Amino acid sequence: MSIEQRNDPRVITVDRATAAVLRAETLVVLESNSHHLEDVERYGAAGRRALRAVYADAFAVLDAVGWGGAGADGREPPVPPSPVAVPLTAGLMAQLRERRRDLGHLNLDRLSPLAAEPPDLAAITATRLAAQALDRLRTAFTRPPVPTA
């Protein structure tokens, strides 16, 4: 993606279950892009802005759906009310499309007759539900926005 390309957020309303999937998959997107930070000093200004965009888009989503996990005080942060308004950009949606593809491959690998262990049906179900949530999210993102009066 070019940093000159518009990447304005589109606000999508999701339920708590979809917000939880979005949180988990957004964290994976951040982790999978973390290797770029190792070379950030070698990037020019354009490369640094492009990397910033990936992280800024993901952080905006995490701010909306909650960061999850215990805080410094050891307590869980409050769960955002349902429905949750989430700002999604085309750039982050492209990253989540890759995650959706990966989830599909993960379940195929788990169901392979060559797998070393019998399939974990709970993990397969959780991955399938996450993939379905990402499919719904992509559909909502590509649907034309409803005009406001």
What are 44-71's pLDDT values in tens digits? 888 888 788 878 899 999 999 988 876 6
pLDDT of residue 92: 92
Tell me what the mean pLDDT of segment 107-126 comes to: 81
How far is CA 118 from each of CA 109, 111, 113, rounded to the nearest angstrom? 11, 8, 9
Does residue 149 have a pLDDT over 70? no
| Burial (Cβ within 10 Å: 0-12, 13-18, ≥19) of residue 42 | exposed
Handedness of CA 7, 13, 18, 24 (dihedral sign): positive
125: alpha, beta or left, given left = phi > 0 and alpha = psi -120 to 50? alpha
Please tell me what DSSP assigns to residue 149.
-
Of 9-23, 67-81, 94-108, 124-138, the least confident? 67-81
Is the predicted pLDDT of residue 37 greater than 50, yes or no?
yes
Residue range 94-114: mean pLDDT, rounded: 86
Residues 110 and 124: beta-carbon distance below 8 Å: yes
* Residues whose CB falls within 8 Å of the CB of residue 59, separated by 6 or more in sequence, listed in order: none
